[in-house]
């Protein structure tokens, strides 16, 4: 093989926008204007799975050495960094992994692991050759500016990298907007502000144009901050970069205020959102206490996952009823929401209801639910079910039962626009530094995040294959039901239904963390959190810390 550094790394030279050879030095026809993903470079994009004894499985992330041979390595600059000189062992062992499942039985296999995040003894970039960029996509979230700041400061102060660009306006900013040179001085105070200094947008993802722009600018490290849709885009960008054989890192930092990114313990901004939601709940409580039969109705974020509503309810202790997308409920009839409201008002004279924005969508009329419009990120546009249900409550109690005084509070955009709190600021720092360490070490195509309290590098496919949701057969939901003393809203039609019908199968399930309750009735097993409006659901008996709750999906 030719040892000339020019021929060996020709395709990585920032002065050459497009590769002239594949990693195996096969000449590539150079058609600059037509290079839109049509040139084939055979790259194995299969998941990297390493198996070991006793059921050990490592779901590894891609590395430059997987598709670029004979790359040189360099000593990590951290070994000469005064800040790290006092650390006893500041380099992560190359074989360190993090277990996905931390609670196991003595005879169970060791299970799935991820590569541990942190600085490595050898790096694959020389500091002066690094040209990094940062982009923020999707909706706003507390902590975005903190992540931006810590990526910039981490690159500067830990690795001596001085070329960092901010891409304005999300993915489309790669080819439609200007860039912002980022230095520690520029980002020094941005963590005190909400939003993102780079601007954001939904959609606008054109893979070929984005990778073309990365090559044209000579960028070799791309840090992408966004939710599941953004991480899907990052995965596609990485695959195109690997197909072209480029020495370019694509590192994702998962962002979602709803906390619905799977695998990781939680997403940044979530703690701040829960804390800020307390202000709205407190206001609702004050309003409800100040009037006869007062009702404070608070709608919080949570399109498909009710984590903010659940944790804000548990933290508040002023909430009488929490409604989330994962737990079906109904309005009228015995055991319904209206009956519970009337009961609670007679007992206490006031109440507070917290509702996630995705809860109760199936209760809207067929004509409204037929709205299948989506935003630019592909998310379904939800109707304001909180406003609709609050009006239904008002209409219901217009009858001569009792006069109510309902106050509807929607703080969703106020919550996501605030700066991050102390807890999230620390968390954002860890995320940013872990991403920088991974990029310098040659890892790519990964999302960084804590798994059981230890930061790890997670393949893109694992964080985009599903969404994290509240498990209503978990102990945390049982704790909430105990705290609010609210019913589980079994459908009264199922309780007082036709006695001639066959009694559904009853399954007893211990309420361990993240345990899915399943039951069958003359059909395949069906997840209790799935939409079962078209079929008669089974009754599930759940035992979580001696707390018995019957959970049933809503029937049509």
**What DSSP line would sit under 481-536, residue for residue?**
HHHHT------HHHHS--TTSPPPPEEEEE--TTPPPEE-SSS--EETTS--TTSP
Q: Write down how long the chain is.
A: 556
Is 380:372 a contact under the CB 8 Å cutoff?
Answer: yes
- Kindly tell me the sign of the dihedral angle through the C-alpha atoms of 179, 181, 184, 189: negative
**Cα–Cα distance for residue pair 512/550, rounded to 1 Å:** 16
Pairing of strands 132-136, 164-167: parallel
Of 60, 66, 212, 258, the catalytic one is 258
Please enumerate, by residue number, every residue annotated as part of a binding site.
Answer: 139, 202-203, 227-230, 256-258, 301-303, 357, 413-416
**Cα–Cα distance for residue pair 202/206, rounded to 1 Å:** 12
**What DSSP line would sit under 199-211, residue for residue?**
---S----HHHHH
Strand order in the sheet with 350-356: 321-323, 350-356, 294-300, 405-409
Is 358:352 a contact under the CB 8 Å cutoff?
Answer: no
**Cα–Cα distance for residue pair 52/68, rounded to 1 Å:** 26
Please enumerate, by residue number, every residue annotated as part of a binding site for substrate.
Answer: 256-258, 301-303, 357, 413-416
**Cα–Cα distance for residue pair 111/56, rounded to 1 Å:** 5
Question: Dihedrals φ, ψ of 28, to 5°?
Answer: -110, 130
Q: What is the DSSP letter of 46?
A: S
Helix (H, G, I), strand (E, B) or coil at 455: strand
Q: What is the DSSP letter of 554?
A: P
Tokens linked to 494 = 């199922």
Residues near 187 by Cβ (< 8 Å), separated by ≥ 6?
A: 145, 148, 149, 152, 153, 197
Q: Is 95 a catalytic residue?
A: no
Contacts of the segment 494-503: beta carbons below 8 A, 24+ positions apart: 494/536, 494/537, 494/539, 494/552, 494/555, 495/334, 495/335, 496/334
Tokens linked to 11 = 């395709």
Please enumerate, by residue number, every residue annotated as part of a binding site for ATP.
Answer: 139, 202-203, 227-230
Tokens linked to 182 = 């980022």
Is 337:321 a contact under the CB 8 Å cutoff?
Answer: yes
Nearest 5 degrees, angle CA 478-CA 481-CA 485? 145
Residues belonging to the active site: 258
């Amino acid at each position: 093989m030719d040892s000339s550094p020019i021929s060996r790394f020709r395709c990585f030279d920032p002065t050459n926008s497009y590769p002239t050879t594949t990693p195996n030095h096969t000449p590539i026809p150079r058609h600059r204007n037509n290079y839109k993903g049509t040139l084939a470079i055979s790259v194995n994009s299969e998941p990297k799975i390493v198996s070991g004894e006793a059921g050990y499985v490592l779901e590894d992330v891609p590395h430059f050495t997987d598709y670029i041979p004979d790359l040189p390595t360099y000593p990590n600059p951290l070994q000469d960094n005064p800040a790290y000189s006092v650390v006893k062992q500041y380099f992560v062992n190359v074989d360190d992994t993090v277990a996905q499942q931390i609670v196991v039985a003595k005879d169970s296999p060791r299970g799935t692991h991820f590569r541990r995040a942190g600085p490595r003894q050898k790096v694959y970039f020389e500091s002066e050759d690094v040209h990094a960029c940062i982009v923020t996509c999707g909706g706003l979230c507390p902590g975005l500016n903190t992540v931006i700041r810590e990526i910039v400061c981490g690159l500067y102060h830990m690795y001596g990298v001085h070329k960092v660009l901010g891409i304005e306006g999300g993915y489309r900013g790669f080819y439609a907007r200007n860039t912002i040179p980022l230095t520690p001085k520029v980002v020094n105070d941005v963590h005190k502000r909400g939003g993102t200094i780079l601007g954001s947008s939904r959609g606008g993802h054109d893979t070929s144009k984005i990778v073309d722009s990365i090559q044209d600018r000579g960028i070799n490290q791309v840090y992408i901050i966004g939710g599941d849709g953004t991480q899907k885009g990052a995965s596609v960008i990485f695959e195109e970069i690997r197909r072209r054989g480029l020495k370019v890192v694509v590192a994702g930092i998962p962002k979602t205020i709803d906390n619905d990114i799977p695998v990781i313990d939680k997403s940044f901004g979530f703690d701040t959102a829960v804390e800020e939601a307390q202000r709205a709940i407190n206001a609702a409580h004050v309003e409800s206490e100040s009037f006869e039969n007062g009702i404070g109705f608070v709608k919080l974020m949570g399109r498909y996952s009710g984590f903010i509503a659940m944790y804000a309810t548990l933290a508040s202790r002023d909430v009488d009823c929490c409604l989330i997308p994962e737990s079906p409920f109904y309005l009228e009839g015995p055991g319904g929401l209206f009956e519970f409201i009337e009961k609670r008002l007679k007992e206490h004279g006031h109440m507070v209801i917290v509702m996630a924005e995705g809860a109760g969508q199936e209760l809207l009329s067929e004509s409204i639910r037929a709205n299948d419009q989506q935003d630019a990120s592909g998310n379904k546009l939800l109707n304001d079910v909180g406003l609709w249900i609050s009006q239904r409550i008002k209409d219901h109690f217009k009858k001569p039962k009792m006069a109510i005084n309902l106050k509807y509070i929607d703080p969703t955009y106020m919550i996501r626009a605030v700066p991050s709190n102390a807890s999230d600021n620390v968390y954002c720092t860890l995320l940013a530094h872990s991403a920088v360490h991974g990029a310098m070490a040659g890892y790519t195509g990964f999302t960084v995040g804590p798994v059981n309290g230890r930061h790890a590098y997670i393949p893109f496919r694992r964080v985009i294959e599903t969404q994290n949701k509240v498990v209503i057969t978990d102990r945390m939901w049982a704790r909430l039901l105990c705290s609010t003393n609210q019913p589980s809203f079994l459908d009264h039609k199922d309780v007082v239904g036709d006695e001639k019908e066959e009694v559904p199968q009853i399954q007893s399930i211990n309420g361990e963390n993240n345990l899915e309750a399943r039951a069958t009735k003359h059909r395949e097993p069906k997840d209790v959190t799935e939409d079962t409006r078209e079929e008669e659901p089974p009754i599930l008996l759940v035992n979580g810390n001696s707390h018995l709750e019957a959970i049933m999906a809503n029937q049509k």
